[in-house]
Structures are given as C-alpha cells and as structure tokens.
Structure 1
Amino acid sequence: MIAPMKKALLPAFALLALSALPASAASFQSCLAAIGARAQAAGVSPAVFARQTNGLQPDMTVIDAMNKQPEFKTAIWDYMAGLVDAQRVADGKQMMSKYASVLAGVQRRYGVDPATVVAVWGVESNYGESPGTRPLVQSLATLSCYGGRRQGYFMGELIATLKIIQRGDVNPDHLVGSWAGAFGNTQFMPSTFLRLAVDGDGDGRRDVVDSVPDALASTANYLAHSGWQPGARWGYEVRLPASFKPGLAGRTRKRALSAWTAMGVTRTDGSPLSGGGSAGILLPAGPRGPAFVVFRNFDAIYAYNAAESYALAIATLSDRIKGGGPIVTPWPTDDPGLSRAQRKELQALLIRAGYDVGTPDGSIGDKTIEAIKGAERRLGLPVTGHPGLTILQALRKG
C-alpha cells in the first residue's frame, strides 16, 4: 500500500468544511452531499458522483482496520516470516520468468531492478492473488466521514478515485482494494495513480488492476520518482562490532562506508563493506537482532509505504528472488514467526484439536488468536495468542 499515513494537501476551504462533517452513521448522506460539492469543484461531474454514491452505505469495519496496520503492530520477525517465505520466493521467480520481456522493457525505461518491482508485487498483492475486496468508493467515503483527523486525506483519495472512474482507465467494478483505498496488483493509492501510473502495454489506458504490464511499469515509475538509483543495491546484512553504539543507527543517519568500516562494521562473512554513496545502519529488531547497511534505494522502497519493516520485506524478497540466501543473524526471540505454510498447518492443527478458526488460509485473525490462547491454556503454556513456532511444535506433539 502506498503511504496511507501521508496527508493530502487540500485547499483551506475544504479542510475547514471537514470540521462540520457529521460523525454519526445516520448523517452519512449529509456527509456525502458535502463531499459532492468538493468533488464537483475538483472536476468530478455530478453524474459520475451520483452514479457512484446513490444508495451508498458506510462500511464501519474499515475504521477497525485503520487501527490494525501490520507494519506498525506486528513483531518484525512475524511480519517478515509471513511475507518472505519459500512460496513467495518461488512464485516471484516464476513471475520474473513469465514477464521477463515486460520487466526488461521496464528496466530500460525506468532503470529499476526487475526483482524489486516483482517483490513489490509479491508483498502488495501476492502477485495479484490478494488485491483486496473492499469497494474503494465505499471504503473511502466511510473514511472521509468517520476517519477522524485523517478525514481530509481520505476525502482527497475519494475524489481521486472518482476522477479515475471518470477518465475510464480502470473498470469501476474492479476498483476494489484495501481498507485505505489502495488497489490493483501493486496497490496504488488513487491520488498516486493519477500522478504516476503509466501505460505499460500500449493500449492507451493506465490499468493497474487488469494489466500486469501497466502495474509493473507504474511501480517502476513510482520508484524512479522516489530516487531509485539504477545499478545500485538497496543494502545488505552486516555484522556489528560489540562496541557499536545503537544510537548511531537509523535509516536517515547516513555516513560514508569508510566511517562504518572504521567502527568495525563488516559484511556477515567478515569481508569489507562495499557500495557507492553514504549509508545508514538499520536495526529493525534492536541491537540484538540482524543489522543492515541501507543505501538510497532502500529509501526509495520505503517511500512506497512509510514503514521500515515493509521496505525490508521487499528488499530481502528481491534478493531471494535473485537467488540470494535468507537473513543470517537470528531474530532476538525464542518464538520465531511462521511462514504462510506453517500458519496454515497451525490452523489445521487447531481445528483438529476442536477449535474454530474458520478456513485454514494462513491469515491470522481474531478467531485464530483466541484458539491459540485456548490451546495454550490446555497445554500449560504461557497464554500469549502468538502464532509462533512454540505453539506449532506443541500442537504437532498432540
């Protein structure tokens, strides 16, 4: 998802109007009427607005989803285990082969490493299999009326969605996506689509939903605009000396590689640091976990969705797709995260033990968490609800 935390820049009159928008579900239609005036002022025809909003009802589940973003709530080792697993790596390699000619053209035009583009696709929608199911207009209208301090941002995205529909780039019936309005193979926010989506297949339309070439080219264009440096690496895992001061770490606290080398930082195999330009040291799990040198291209990935865990998932997945190995340094936990295959196995074992988790699909929701807690109580384990290796191994033993 592209930067859902960023605020839209709206005219002052629009921001002032938001303070008067109603906060009750019964007043949803009044809220829509106020948004309709803003949409018309922004160039959306009354007919398009009416077709998309007549009879529309709010979906209040998006408000709950807004407060449960995994990039900010989930432990890094759980987040990474679910996104950079063997299946996603294998599927990514297949997509690299299937779309080799498209990706070659994208690289020539935008200078972005094909594996990184494919990794974004894999993390954002599992290569198009999971682009989201929420109708954009409904979700964004709900958030425009009930999104609290972020109403202004979401109203801008709703108006951008209506402009996309008016332009005819994407089939309106296919404009479904995440709770926040990100849509398509690589989950563009509507305003970002208007700015940076491109026609990758030459049909005259920018369709990141039904055209994989459009989605891949648009993603590369986004990364290029975010400062991607052709031919350079995003970074790599490193080994820190015992004397390293964690306060020196930080993605934006960049120094010359020679400065890090002087402190005793090396690659994990002990070889010297290499690469061009300055770099920061990233400690996603603190000083006891893996450490990474990160360059400008890591920042370009970060710009796609402002979370370091997200950027690290894409960066490491891209390396794995190209044949690289997994992260060397263990995460600082005694209960490592599970791959999607292991999560499905966990759910199947919970069902066999008599717990209701719904369909064993590898997605950890409230039912699975409550079932884990029940199983932990029965097995005499600390009750955490954590879908990690500890409960999986315990259930395997019966």
Structure 2
Amino acid sequence: MPGPVRHALTALFLPALLFTSQASMAELPTMTDAAFAECKAGLQDKAVQAGVSADTASRVMADVSYLERVIELDRRQPEFTTTFADYLNRRVNESRISKGREMLAEHKDLLARVTRETGVPAPYLVAFWGLETNYGSYFGKMQVPSALTTLACDPRRTTFFTEQLIAALRIIDEGAIPAEQMEGSWAGAMGHVQFMPTVFLKHAVDADGDGRRDLWNSLPDAMMSAGKFLESMGWDGDYRWGREVLLPENFDFSQADGRRLPLAEWRKLGITDAFGNALAREPIEAALVVPSGHQGPAFLAYSNFRVIMGWNRSEFYAIAVGHLADRVAGAGGLQNPPPEDQPALSRDQIMQLQETLSAKGYSSGEPDGILGSNTRKAIRQYQKAEGLIADGFPSGQLLQALDIQAGS
C-alpha cells in the first residue's frame, strides 16, 4: 500500500513495522464476470438503501469494472522490514524539506487561516501534505469506485470496503466531484491529503465557499479539512509533537515501553533536549520512543504524537511528520541520526526470533512475523536477563546471540 494516509485503514493494514521488497505471492483468486456483476448489483442496492440516490448509484456502478491489480496490491505480502533510517531518509529529504518551505511561504495566508480556525500550526499541515502526496504532485491513479467495488467483492474485508464504497457514492451524489474524476490510491484514499471516503464525509469542509468539498482541486478545502480532522482527534495547539532528546549513560531502556510520564519525571531520569539543555517545565506527559534502539535517536512524544498516529498508526510515520514539520519551520537535522547499518529482517526471520524467544521462556504469543509490542516486550525481557541493553530492539548483537542470521 502506498504512502498515502489510511486513517481507519491503518487498523487493518499496518503492522508495527513497515515492509519493503515484495515476496512472491500465491496465485490470486479470480472472480467470474457473472459473480462480479451479481456483487455489483447487491452493492448498488445497499447504497440506495443507505441513502445514495438511485440515479447516482445506477450511473456510477454501471461504469465500475473489476480491477485485478487492486487485489494483487491488497494481497501482496512484503518480505523485508524497512529500518527507521531508510524510512526517514526517504521521506524527510532535502528536496521535500526545500519544497515544504516554499509551500509554507507560498500559502502562508491560507495556512494562517487554518491555524486560526483549528489550532494546527502551518508547518504540520505542510508536513502531512508533503508525506501524503508530495505537495499535491501525486494523488493516485486508481478509479476509486472500481477499486472499492473490487475490494468490497473480495471476501476478506467486505464490510469495511462496502462502507467505503457507499461513502464514495455519497460524495459523488453530493456533487463534490464527478465519478470519472474520482481517482486515488488502490485502497480508496483521495485528494491532497488522501482521506478515505468515510473520513471525507465526516471531516471534509468547503473552505473556499464554492459549495463543494473538493479535496482534489481546492487547496483551501484540503488544508482546512486536514486541520479539522486533526482538531477532532484532539490536537493541542499549545504544544509541539515531541522532540529529540539525549539520554544519560546507563539509561534504563525498559522505560521506553510506551509508558507516559510527566516531563518532570523524565528530567529526574537525566533526560535533556537534543542539545543538552534541561527539558521545559511544562505540565504535560510524554512517552519515550527509540525507533532504532539504543544506538539511534531518542524522542519524547507528546500528546500530539498520538494525534498523528490517529491519522496513520505508525510510529515511523508520526516521527517523520513531526521531524518534517520541524525542518520546514527552519530547524536542523537530528543530532543523533539513525544508524544506516541496522539489519532489515524478513517475516520469516521475525517468526524465527519469536519462536526462539518463546522456547527460552519469553513468549510473545503466536508467532506472526510482525515485530509488535508483545515481541518487543519479549526481546526486552531476554535482553535484561542476559545483561544486554534492554531496548526491545532486534539488533545484530541480539540476533547473533540467538543464532538468527540478519537480512540485508
């Protein structure tokens, strides 16, 4: 699935780690023309029952076609994990930073208006825009009604994609965009900020006053909609997303387990900002995030970090948004960049890691090839018992100790 935001989709598609380098797939299931026609008819009836006009439902569904490529992309199983260094370097690069600063200046009046109405600072709006569609340069080329119908007719997530299809038909019905122009990602994310149809219906706004909520052709509509969505999830305009921090020597990395502590408590543990200065004396809580383990950068994530993860449920993504926003606003790079030589693990290697840890008494549940919170907890328990730095990260040292060969 491409970079565009998934919103509700993230609960279905995004594991704790991101993957690249596609593995070979099993033969894809096929759907006969007759079966697809029957499914389309049923979906059309459901749309009308849900309030879509019969004319819109009939007209749009008549032009819908089965997109085998969508099923291929949906079923594709990635093979290797993406390291944090690779993820961040690909998404927060000099080109995107420079373009973001241009966009910040070019659209300063619009962005200032969005900030006034939603509380979301302009650099964050630009950062989301940059990560989602590279500042509007690529929205996706899939015909959304056809893509969503194809997915709704697939048995794996019929309910979810039926809901998205009906929402897309309602968007067409209200006149936001003609059906033939409704293009987006293979999973149905659309426009400058890649809203899913249900998110569009709930949070998209008409900010330019033309009577339409147009997230494809109206930047005011897109930016205000993004701001409203973030505001609805609890964006706190008084604080930033978080910050890079420095940890003291011999820091207990078991603290980086998602727990939220007041900044005063993190100060007592010896944590400073990235330049060695004392943390601000603010009455807020933060969680410590170490995406590359103890060898990489550390971040204190504030409440807005969780809001960003409400947009896309990936820590890597949330850090990228925050860091890109900082860079667009004029800040420099990370003081402690992530190491470039960390291993990329395959699903099979992660399953082997899970099985090996379980055999040693550190179970993370049923092996699934996903490096989630339970697996990190098991790693941390093993590391602590073996006198290793308990950061919950599958480092080369850990893999060597467990006789698991790292990927490349």
CA contact (8 A) 1:239 1:268 kept: yes
1:115 to partner: Cα distance: 0.5
Picking from 25, 29, 36, the partner of 2:37 is: 29
Shift of 1:335: 7.2
- Verify: 1:5 aligned to 2:19, yes or no: no
Structure 1 residues without counterparts, runs of 5 or longer: 8-21, 338-382, 387-398
| TM superposition shift of 1:141 | 0.8
Partner Cα separation in structure 1 for residue 308 and residue 175 of structure 2: 29
1:300 Cα offset (Å): 1.2
Stretch of structure 1 that moved more, 214-223 or 283-292: 283-292
Distance 1:267 1:152 in 2: 46
Q: 1:102 — aligned with what?
A: 110
SS at match of 1:181: coil
Measured in 2, the distance between the counterparts of 1:167 and 1:258 equals: 51
Distance 1:272 1:68 in 2: 47
Superposed, 1:52-63 pairs within 5 Å as 52-63=60-71
User: Corresponding residue for 1:121?
Assistant: 129
- Please state how far the C-alpha of 1:260 moved relative to its aligned partner: 1.1
Q: Where does the alignment leave 5 or more consecutive residues of structure 2 unmatched?
A: 13-28, 345-405
- Distance of 1:186 and 1:140 partners within structure 2: 18
- Counterpart of 2:321 in structure 1 is 314
TM-score computed with the length of structure 1 as normaliser = 0.76
The alignment status of 1:81 with 2:89, answered yes or no, reads yes
CA distance in 1, matches of 2:98, 2:71: 35
Matched, 1:195 2:202: yes
Aligned partner letter, 2:69: T
Q: Percentage identity across aligned positions?
A: 37
What is the 5 A alignment of 1:137-176? 137-146=145-154, 148=156, 150-176=157-183
1:251-285, Cα deviation, whole Å (9 max, x unpaired): x5210111111111111211111244100011112
* Cα distance in 1 for residues equivalent to 2:72 and 2:198: 23
Q: Distance in 1 between matches of 2:122 and 2:263?
A: 26
Going from structure 1 to structure 2, the CA distance change for 1:325 and 1:67 (only over 3 Å counts) comes to: farther
Q: Which amino acid aligns with 1:321?
A: V
- Superposition deviation, residue 304 in structure 1: 0.9
| Equivalent residue, structure 2, for 1:42 | 50
Q: What is the CA deviation profile of residues 217-253 of structure 1, one whole-angstrom value per residue up to 9, with x for unaligned ones?
A: 0000011011101131111101122333333214x52
Structure 1 residue corresponding to 2:274, chosen from 262, 268, 271: 268
C-alpha displacement of 1:286: 2.1
> How far off its partner does 1:294 sit?
0.7
- Residues 171 and 197, structure 2, Cα contact 8 Å, conserved in 1: yes
Kindly provide the amino acid, as one letter, of the partner of residue 274 in structure 2: T
After superposition, give the CA deviation of every residue in 1:346-378 in whole Å (9 maximum; x if it has no partner). Answer: xxxxxxxxxxxxxxxxxxxxxxxxxxxxxxxxx
Q: Distance in 2 between matches of 1:57 and 1:118?
A: 35
What are the residue-to-residue correspondences of 1:205-216 with 2, within 5 Å?
A: 205-216=212-223
Distance (Å, rounded) in 1 between the aligned partners of 2:76 and 2:249? 36
**Runs of 4+ deviating beyond 3 Å:** 67-70
Q: Write the distance in 2 (CA, Å) between the matches of 1:110 and 1:86.
A: 29
SS of the counterpart of 2:259? Answer: strand
Per-residue CA deviation, residues 105-133 of structure 1 (Å, 9 max, x unaligned), is 11111111111001100000000001111
Please tell me whether the aligned partners of residues 145 and 179 of structure 2 are also in contact (alpha carbons under 8 angstroms). no
Alpha-carbon distance in structure 1 between the residues aligned to 2:335 and 2:278: 17
Residue 260 of structure 1 aligns with an amino acid whose one-letter code is W
Check 1:311–1:25 CA distance in 2 against 1; reply closer, same or farther (3 A cut).
farther
Equivalent residue of 1:146, what SS?
Answer: coil
- Quick check: 33-42 or 220-229, which moved more? 33-42
* Residues 23 and 145 in structure 1, CA contact (< 8 A), matched pair in contact too: no
Map of 1:280 onto structure 2: 287
RMSD: 2.4
Supply the AA of the counterpart residue of 1:119: A
| Structure 1 equivalent of residue 73 of structure 2 | 65
For the Cα contact (< 8 Å) 1:265–1:273, is it kept in 2?
yes
Distance (whole Å) between structure 2 residues aligned to residue 151 and residue 288 of structure 1: 43
Name the structure 2 match of 1:11: none
